[in-house]
Amino acid sequence: MMQALMLKARKAPRSRCRIETKVRYFNEQTDGRVLNLSGSGLALELSRPLSARTGARIWVESPELGLIDGTVQWCQGTRLGLQFDRSSNAWAKVASYFRFFHNRSSRSR
């Protein structure tokens, strides 16, 4: 209960999605899935835990997003939150995803 009160509130609105990815942390690699996405970060569900902890830099790659790196903000088992660097081009990749992939899949439903 106390841990939940210590979490920072999200500043950017997030959109739910299901993007299959490969996730790397140094020599470790696992499959993953982006659960939600914004211009400032994303939440991942991994097929197996990585040894990456809060503050670690990881890389996420998918055909829809390309290669994105960021800093782990939180981790709980096989789920983690990733914050993009402000100086990276991740926001452009996310904007491109929403323009070309996300809307197309939403319209077909």
Query: φ and ψ at 81, to 5 degrees?
Result: -110, 135
Domains of the chain in start order, with CATH, are: 12-107 (2.40.10.220)
Q: Is the pTM of this model over 0.95?
A: no
Q: How confident is the model at residue 67 (pLDDT cuts 50, 70, 90)?
A: very high
> Is pLDDT of 17 > 60?
yes
Vertex 101 angle, CA 85 and 65, to 5°: 30
Split at pLDDT 50, 70, 90, the class of 22 is very high
- Model confidence band, residue 95 (pLDDT cutoffs 50, 70, 90): confident
Q: Which pair of tokens denotes residue 37?
A: 């996405």
